[in-house]
Amino acid sequence: MTDATKAGFVDFDSHIASAALPDGLREVLQVLARTCAEISDVVADGALAGALGASGQINVQDEEQKKLDVMTNDMLTDALLACPFVAGVASEEMDEVQPAIHPAGQYLVLFDPLDGSSNIDINAPVGTIFSVLASPSPTPTEADFMQPGRAQVASGYALYGAQTMLVLTTGSGVTGFTMAPEGRWLLTHPDIRIPADTREFAINMSNQRHWADGVQRYVTGCLEGADGPRGKNFNMRWVAAMVADVHRILMRGGVFLYPWDRREPEKPGKLRLMYEGNPMALLVEQAGGKATLDGVAPILDVVPERLHQRVPVALGSANEVDQIAAA
């Protein structure tokens, strides 16, 4: 993109400055945008930055951390805790919340620093997901983070793919920014809307034998195509990074399912409510889609009980989510 072409786009800072947002929230979002641009550079360097492979550490999720999990977590934590309007942070990669020491701290930020990190070594899309809450106190405890998703004042993600994009909602629709070569975020998608109908679904088919009956019926109906009860052919897509699968849905419609299954029946789901479910659900609802646990119960209505709580997910094009509920 030439300088002349880029001149026609509004940049992130100007867009945020013109929005009816509190000054503190505006600054928190600017810190997130700058740090995601820096993470994009680290991800792009890959092996050149010594960033590939495992770190040798296990996180609170009992998962082996990639080197980039640790690096990106530190980048976001340091940048956010230095912001005077941040009262505290929580991360998928950290056992406990990290309070800041700012008398003016007004916001809590939760994040998955590198969603889909298993894709790093094969150069497939990954991203950063974030959620912003109002803080009840400038010295927050873990209990202050236990707010339902509807309490979010902002959420979004950065997708590090063929283009690096930042997608954001502050509760009044969804906007998308593309990163220009010099690291500036330019507004390229001013009003993202999810089509109500779709012919695409995303699910890990290798787990089919473990699904509950309703999910089995829904997916079978899709696979039967035009000859089945749905009367149309479907394509299946699966990137193994929620951020990439949800981005596809925001761009052209579809549904994403990560349901409960019988392998670990005591666990309600796989995805993390606070770092993945809530921020993505707010984006999807603000773009006109539906974001549910099971096709019916909204993710945003869940009252969290634990910092690393897991949930099932069924979200995307509104009419297709209704079909999941009816299966």
Domain boundaries for CATH 3.30.540.10 within the chain = 3-189
**Region 199-228: what's the mean pLDDT?**
96
Q: Give the architecture (CATH level 2) of 200-326.
A: 3-Layer(aba) Sandwich (3.40)
> What DSSP state is assigned to residue 99?
E
Q: How far apart are CA 157 and CA 127, in angstroms?
A: 7
E strand residue ranges, the chain: 54-58, 64-66, 86-91, 98-99, 107-115, 126-134, 152-160, 164-169, 175-179, 185-189, 200-202, 235-236, 255-258, 271-272, 290-292, 310-311, 313-316
The per-residue pLDDT for range 161-175, each reduced to its tens digit, is 999 999 999 999 999
The per-residue pLDDT for range 32-52, each reduced to its tens digit, is 999 999 999 999 887 777 766
Q: What does the pLDDT read at residue 4? A: 41
- Of the candidate ranges 53-57, 72-76, 117-121, 305-309, the one whose mean pLDDT is the lowest: 53-57
Q: Are strands 107-115 and 86-91 parallel, antiparallel or unpaired?
A: parallel
Domain boundaries for CATH 3.40.190.80 within the chain = 200-326
- Note whether 126 and 116 are within 8 A (CB): yes
Q: What does the pLDDT read at residue 64? A: 67
Beta-carbon contacts of 256 under 8 Å, excluding residues fewer than 6 positions away, are: 201, 202, 203, 242, 245, 246, 249, 313, 314, 315, 316
Supply the pTM of this predicted model: 0.94
> Domain 3-189's class?
alpha beta
The residue that leads in pLDDT, 59 or 128, is 128
CB atoms within 10 A of CB 7: 8
Place of tokens 């770092």: 275
Q: What does the pLDDT read at residue 6? A: 63
Q: What percent of the chain has pLDDT over 90?
A: 83
